Amino acid sequence: MASSLCFLPFLLFVLSSIASSSSSTDALHGSGEAEALGQDLYRDLLRDEAVSRLIELGKISDVDGYLERTFLSPASLRASKIIREWMADAGLRTWIDHMGNVHGRVDGLNASAPALLMGSHMDTVVDGGKFDGALGIVSAISAMKVLKVTEKLVKLRHPVEVIAFCDEEGVRFQSTFLGSAALAGILPATALNISDKSGKTLHEVLKEYSADATEDSFVQLTYNPELVRGYVEVHIEQGPVLESAGIPLGVVKGIAGQTRLKVTVSGSQGHAGTVPMSMRRDPMAAAAELIVLLEGLCKQPQKFLSYDDDCSTVDSLFGSLVCTVGEISLWPSASNVTFTIDLRAMDDLGREAVLYELSARMYTICDKRSVSCVIERKHDANAVKCDSELSSQLQLAALSAFRKVAGNVDVDVPILMSGAGHDAMAMAHLTKMGMLFVRCRGGVSHSPAEHVLDDDVWAAGLAALAFWRIKCRTIGYVPLFQRAYQMYSVLVSCIYRNGSLFISVGKPL
Ligand SMILES: *[C@@H]1O[C@H](CO)[C@@H](O)[C@H](O)[C@H]1NC(C)=O
Ligand SMILES: *[C@@H]1O[C@H](CO)[C@@H](O)[C@H](O)[C@H]1NC(C)=O
Ligand SMILES: *[C@@H]1O[C@H](CO)[C@@H](O)[C@H](O)[C@H]1NC(C)=O
Ligand SMILES: *[C@@H]1O[C@H](CO)[C@@H](O)[C@H](O)[C@H]1NC(C)=O
Ligand SMILES: [Zn+2]
């Protein structure tokens, strides 16, 4: 990490002297502390309006009774329209591209400078929840609206763009990230030929959607990496870590790599009463032993992997390695058992080491039991690391947001791994990316039970706002310093990086 955290007591002095000189001005305007607090936290926009928008979006569904919004479905088109209105309401210039992604952009002071992108997805799984994806879109728009009402939007030093991606869950075409992959330039031309359940190809669906779309127009969607400075996504955690830590926000260090395996165990079918135990080749018992092996290995990789020269691999595996048996089936009859393994880890070499060890030990078990085993590798995706600079800025932003909501407490913002894929994974091919996770109840997602507390929605909006201010510091340091008197907490920390000083202060930031 190129940046280093430091504490600068002298800045404290500077800020407090400004504070004492400007507090009299403040008194003239008669704004009390409580009022300043309310204004500073933008509860009406970042919490109340954001929550009501999430509820409104959560009602836009293709079916009655539960939430389902898939790529370019009628409900998705209605959702796009509303999201676009919210973007316009936040002072952004809006458009919808040929793929159905909704964009809202503000040029700031230099329209030709590289833009900072922020967004998430607007599609859902079948019977999904109203926060997955939507929270990232709504909190980004709310933060922009605060910049608009405080007249900061026009003073941004470079363009900022909020994007609502059309497809992340991949329900309709079983192919995830259609929207972000198109912008990142990694959507293969062959994707246009995949078809949905009704037999319509992606190409046909896109043609229907925008009549003037050609194959070229999809290529033209790809962003020029030189005109982008980064991508940031706010998303629900979809796991229980933040809830158990009692903290609403966490910073993502990376998205795990993944391997899917299919294991077939073939034994022989025999009569349950007549084949003696010594002569059995029972695939079911063998599969059970293999699954228990998998669990043991993933719980305690250090017990299974040797690491003579490099123990960092095992260290990094520790805590990030997760393994799951998805489906298990007996086919045909009882002589063959097949099951799938989903294995994820932050460290790609570590994942390979686990796969190597796992398959060697599995084959040994199969030999011992005289069953024949086939392990097929069905899918691989490498891990994606978040950018360290964006992550440390998000960490400061999260800390600032948390302190605004919870008081000046001392807390470490958790650093998490994302086990699930996100648009950020596709965007990482275009630009550096960072992610912020928001606590969700019970870690539950992809379900109507998915829930984020109103105050956590607020914290997410405050963090997005703090992030914009750290990242795209508006021109004019004087107003920032003038507002230093509003500080309830003292200077938190600063990052000194290549001659630029990023200051994170307690209340106003
Ligand atoms: C605007 O940004 C571009 C690209 O970064 C840069 O070349 C140009 O000098 C900037 N213009 C101003 C006025 O700062
Ligand atoms: C899509 O399918 C058509 C007809 O089957 C074929 O001619 C075309 O080459 C395919 N395109 C791609 C990009 O695979
Ligand atoms: C068990 O599965 C293997 C591999 O898929 C297959 O070759 C074999 O025919 C199956 N056994 C039976 C009894 O069908
Ligand atoms: C920061 O400084 C280092 C060394 O001086 C340089 O290699 C790096 O490119 C700089 N980074 C930025 C973002 O300017
Ligand atoms: Zn999602």
Complete DSSP assignment for 274-306: TS-GGG---HHHHHHHHHHHHHHHHH-HHHH--
Query: CA 94 to CA 87: how far, in whole Å?
Result: 7
Contacts of 15 (CB under 8 A, 6+ apart): 481, 484, 487, 491, 505
Question: ω into residue 225 within 30 of 0, thus cis?
Answer: no
- Which residues contact residue 234 at a Cβ distance below 8 angstroms, ignoring those fewer than 6 apart? 118, 120, 135, 136, 139, 140, 435, 436, 438, 460, 463, 464
Which residue is associated with the tokens 């793929």?
Answer: 99
Q: Would you put residue 47 in left (φ > 0), alpha (ψ -120 to 50) or beta?
A: alpha
Q: How far is CA 337 from CA 170, 212, 498, in A?
A: 29, 50, 59
Looking at ligand 3, which atom is closest to the CA of residue 333? 13
Radius of gyration of the chain (CA): 26
Token code pair at residue 253: 């260090």
Ligand 2 site, residue 215, Cβ cutoff 6 A: no
- Give the CA dihedral 262, 265, 269, 272, nearest 10 degrees: -100
- Strands 384-385 and 249-255, by their bridges, are antiparallel
| Closest ligand to residue 335's CA | 3
Sequence-ordered alpha helix ranges (H) in 311-453:
312-317, 348-368, 388-406, 423-427
Domain with CATH 3.30.70.360 in the chain: 257-381
Q: Which residues pair with 116 in a beta bridge?
A: 160, 230
Atom of ligand 2 nearest to the CA of 203: 1
Q: Specify whether the CB–CB gap between 313 and 389 falls below 8 A.
A: no
Q: Options 3.30.1180.20, 3.40.50.2020, 3.40.50.300, 3.40.630.10; which CATH number does 40-232+419-432+442-455+465-475 get?
A: 3.40.630.10
Q: Would you write out the chain's pLDDT as a tens digit for each of its 509 residues? A: 333 333 343 343 334 333 333 333 222 233 333 334 444 689 999 999 999 999 999 999 999 999 999 999 999 999 999 999 999 999 999 999 999 999 999 999 999 999 999 999 999 999 999 999 999 999 999 999 999 999 888 888 899 999 999 999 888 987 778 999 999 999 888 888 889 989 999 989 998 888 777 777 777 899 999 999 999 999 999 999 999 999 999 999 999 998 989 999 998 777 777 777 777 788 889 999 999 999 999 998 888 877 655 555 566 666 788 999 988 888 766 688 999 999 999 888 889 989 999 999 999 999 999 999 999 998 888 899 999 999 999 999 999 898 888 877 778 899 998 988 899 999 999 999 999 999 999 999 999 999 999 999 999 999 999 998 887 765 444 344 444 433 433 344 444 444 444 444 433 32
DSSP state at residue 114: P
Contact by Cβ (8 Å): 337, 329: yes
CATH 3.40.630.10 range(s) for the chain read 40-232+419-432+442-455+465-475
Structure tokens at 386: 């978040």
Ligand 3 close to Cβ of residue 176 (< 6 A): no
Closest protein CA for atom 8 of ligand 1: 113
Extract long-range pairs of 493-500: CB within 8 Å, 24+ residues apart.
493/5, 493/6, 493/7, 493/396, 494/5, 494/6, 494/7, 494/8, 494/11, 495/3, 495/4, 495/5, 495/6, 495/392, 495/393, 495/396, 496/3, 496/4, 496/6, 497/2, 497/3, 497/389, 498/2
Select from 110, 156, 472 the residue to mutate for testing ligand 1; criterion: most ligand atoms less than 8 Å from CB: 110
| Nearest bound ligand to the CA of residue 267 | 3
Task: Find the 330 Cα to ligand 3 centroid distance in Å.
Answer: 11
Rounded to two decimals, the pTM is 0.76
The alpha carbon of 416 and the centre of ligand 4 are apart by a number of angstroms equal to 27
Helix (H, G, I), strand (E, B) or coil at 335: coil
- Ligand closest in space to the Cα of 193: 2
Query: Residue 365 C-alpha to ligand 3 middle, in angstroms?
Result: 19
Tell me how many degrees the CA angle 7-398-312 measures, rounded to the nearest 5.
Answer: 80
- CA-nearest residue for atom 3, ligand 2, is 193
CATH number of this structure's domain 257-381, picked from the four choices 3.30.70.360, 3.40.50.720, 3.40.30.10, 3.40.50.300: 3.30.70.360
332 CB under 6 A from ligand 3? yes
Nearest residue (CA) to ligand 2, atom 13: 190
Instruction: Tokens for 55, please give them.
Output: 């509820």
Ligand 5: centre distance to CA 506 (Å):
30
Two tokens, residue 54: 């999430």
> What's the rounded Cα separation, in Å, for the pair 419 and 403?
27
Upper half-sphere CA count for residue 263 (Cβ side, 13 Å) = 29
- Yes or no: say if 353 and 313 are a contact pair by the CB < 8 Å rule: yes
The DSSP call for residue 389 is: H
Give yes or no for residue 189 CB within 6 A of ligand 2.
yes
